[in-house]
Structure 1
Amino acid sequence: MAYVKAADRSRQIVEAARQVLMREGVNGTTLRLVAREAGIPQGTLHYVFPSKEELLHAVIEDVATEIADVLHAAAETDRGLEHAIREGLTTFWQRLVAQDVRLQIMQYELVIWALRTPGREQSARWQFERYCRIVAAWCQEAAQQADETCAVPFEVLARMVVAAVDGVILQYVGDPDPERAERDLAVVVDMLVGLAQPSTAVAQSA
């Protein structure tokens, strides 16, 4: 077998795990199936990820990184917080929800798995904290680059973004109506912009 750098091998395994998780669900995912999906010996997989728990944690981190990349690529943060929220959440929906809802189902399954697995409960908390930190940093960057303030703390805004968008996603998963979901997302975006009330320093001093 040709030599593969550790980082590339890890990336290969995580991508394979994502495919297996979306197809088989958390309970149906085994290291054997992931190794087969990745086209590598099971021993090689065990060397990189000794346990299923460690692999699932890496998958969550990979999804979080993908979300961060999508948000940052969706909007020019120097155009302000409102622009970032509107463009970012719209692009997030188009790329990570509408194209293949299995990714979202997988994330919810990982949360339930963590909550129902003794000793892994912290993984669910870490997952949402990770998402909220990403959104908070992204919103703060947009506001700072446009010299804007936000009416609520960025960590509060981030939690509301995650909570509201998750709600729309869950309804879409249970009752996939694309047109209704897009209308609902637009309402959510308006609500979040209203909550943030981005204001420039010039506007405040006027």
Structure 2
Amino acid sequence: MAANDRRAELLEAAIRVMARDGVAKATTRAIVNEAGMTLGAFHYCFTSRAQMLELVTETLTERYVAEVRGLFAPHREIRDSVLDSLHAFWKGFEANPGEHQMSYELTQYALRNPGFENVAKRQYEIFLSAFSSLLELAADNAGIEWTAPVPVLARYVQSTVDGLNMAWLVDRNSEDSQAALEMLADHLLLHARPRAS
């Protein structure tokens, strides 16, 4: 098996173990057992457990972002574009709650364990970059400009979505969560104006 294929299988095995048993129980031994490989294969594919966790985080985060980009269709109306983006994120979240819960566990684990800080940093860099590019794309297609800096708006959206995700993991209240997404879209529109020609 090629090294890239072996690494990909180990990453998917790690995702399965973490989603099922939690991040703390995703030891290298548990991961290689899940993949049907040896510890030697793990050390051949990754320089450290921190590198593996960073790649798991990137794999999951980029997977979510790719799904959203695939579902997102920019409209001439900015509200429709924003809601498309938010609903696409939410659809992916509700379809895979275990993976998203694991993402939060990974963030906390990374922040609490020295040497793993880059795992959490990279995770949020990807999300913030994705929200920034979607906000810019939506603005271009609707012929508007944002009156607040796009990185600040992206952070606001990310923080709100994070909070909604965590609340939903606790109470599974989809109706109120969807209503909150509508409020978020309406609030974002307070920071939009027609683009100067």
Query: Aligned pair count?
Result: 197
* RMSD after superposition: 2.1
- Distance between the aligned counterparts of 2:76 and 2:61, measured in 1? 24
List runs of 5+ in structure 1 lacking aligned partners.
Answer: none
Q: Is the 8 A contact 1:101 1:173 kept in 2?
A: yes
Cα shift readout 1:25-52 (whole Å, capped 9, x = no counterpart)? 1111111221222232232122111322
Give the 3 Å change call, closer, same or farther, for CA 188–148 of structure 1 in structure 2.
closer
Cα shift readout 1:129-155 (whole Å, capped 9, x = no counterpart)? 221112112221332344431121111
Q: Is the 8 A contact 1:70 1:88 kept in 2?
A: no
Match of 2:96 in 1: 100
Match of 2:178 in 1: 182
Give the 3 Å change call, closer, same or farther, for CA 157–15 of structure 1 in structure 2.
same
Please point out which of 123, 144, 147 is paired with 2:140: 144
Is 1:114 equivalent to 2:110 in the alignment?
A: yes
- Distance between the aligned counterparts of 1:10 and 1:190, measured in 2? 43
- Distance between the aligned counterparts of 1:168 and 1:19, measured in 2? 24
TM-score if structure 1 supplies the norm length?
0.85
Cα shift readout 1:55-81 (whole Å, capped 9, x = no counterpart)? 110011112211221221122236464
Is 1:51 equivalent to 2:48 in the alignment?
A: yes
How much has 1:11 moved relative to structure 2?
2.1
Q: Is the 8 A contact 2:76 2:143 kept in 1?
A: no
- Distance between the aligned counterparts of 2:7 and 2:74, measured in 1? 31
State the AA in 2 paired with 1:115: L
Q: Is the 8 A contact 1:111 1:124 kept in 2?
A: yes
TM-score if structure 2 supplies the norm length?
0.88
How much has 1:120 moved relative to structure 2?
2.6
Please point out which of 169, 173, 176 is paired with 2:169: 173
SS at match of 1:26: coil
